[in-house]
Structure 1
Amino acid sequence: MEHVLVVDDEKPMRELLKFYLLRNGYRISEAADGKEALAILRSDEFDLLLVDWMMPDMDGRELCKQVRISNQVPIMMLTARNQLKDKIEGFESGADDYLTKPFEEAELIVRIKALIRRARSSPAARRQMIQYKGLALNAESHEVHYEGHPVHLTAHEFALLRFMLSHPGQALTRDQMIENVWGFDFDGDDRTVDSHIRNLRGKLREAGADDLIKTMWGVGYKLL
């Protein structure tokens, strides 16, 4: 069952959207403003965000920009603004689709289905963004965030984390890490892997991600 986060400061609109979505088989969470939405996104995963443009403190455009720092979840902007410049502004902030109010239930559901289908069928999206237990790795921008906080990694630390994120829960040997991160022509030894893991652990810990990497004695390391 697809999970949708509805973000709107007006309760009647949230109730209307929930009514439409629930009877079409979606699971719903809701937020009354952008800040609440960001907090919810740190602890749960969604298939789509429905975001109102006009909200106090943090409007829909700013929320889109904040989400796009570490998350590529499809976003549909809902607004009464129908000028071309407004639509362009919405798309430039990170929205994937734009629906003007008032709207019909049928169009809303069709657009939601299309957005989710497109996101799931995009191999590029699957390759470029990896999310795991609060971690978000963007291969295209070469950025890592933990619950929205940036984690600054070297090229090899980034490649090492990306390899481990591709094999969560799997014990990886040092030889596997060397082959996939440094390559066949690597002329160092196992201590290089250990030192990079140590540095990676330290940086993740500083960002708040404790104990994600477990040492497997006699084998290598595992992402918990």
Structure 2
Amino acid sequence: MRFVLISILLLQPFLCLNAGQVAIIIDDIGYRKTDQHALTLPGKISYAFLPHTPFAKELALQANQSKKDVLLHIPMEASSGKLLGPGAITSDMDDDHINHQLSLALDEIPFAVGINNHMGSHLTKLQKPMASTMKFLKRHKLFFVDSMTTSKSKTRALAHVYGVPHLHRHVFLDNHTDADYIEQQFEQLVEKAKHNEFAIGIAHPHPETIIALKQLLPTLTKHNIELVPVSSLFSDSETSQIKLASAE
């Protein structure tokens, strides 16, 4: 009995270890004043803002003042030909034009710690424009989170070439705004975090999403999953290399 008790006490620190980490990025923020409701989510949520939209700068400042990770959500050319909005990068732009577009976005929100792509199913497959993007990120010490709108994305390989910290989205949480669907996707995110040690989810500032996440985020504790800022996945170069390998 005494041996069992001692064993339990010795094991106790290990029993408290996290089963994994989850980072959640809320993107598409900036067109609507109501996007501010996303900033009320509890915990270390990360936020990605569409450049040059009516409320992007104001809400990004609020997020930054609350010590939340702020990313630039850069519109990139889609295979569908959808309208991209201001600040977009397209395949017909040269290196200087891409640099100019990204510079304007960063000038508007200079405290951004990284970028992720809005759409981009065409552009992220192309070496030249994505190489220009990676060179910009390297100069400004920003990371890239690939929203993975195509399985043929070249961002990982190019990020490696240019020495840019890179990770990718594992789960879209709200492609449908049905509460049951969001819960199902959230559970998938948790399972990926347990399996890979971490997972990145992307969601949007839909009212249904905010309501669902306010209910779901507290459940991470029972799974022994830690909610972290996405930047923390890049906080240490050695750890980043391990995580990058895991993400592959």
Q: TM-score range by the shorter chain?
A: 0.3 to 0.5
Structure 2 length-normalised TM: 0.31
Higher helix share: 2
Structure 1 length-normalised TM: 0.34
Larger Rg over CA atoms: 1
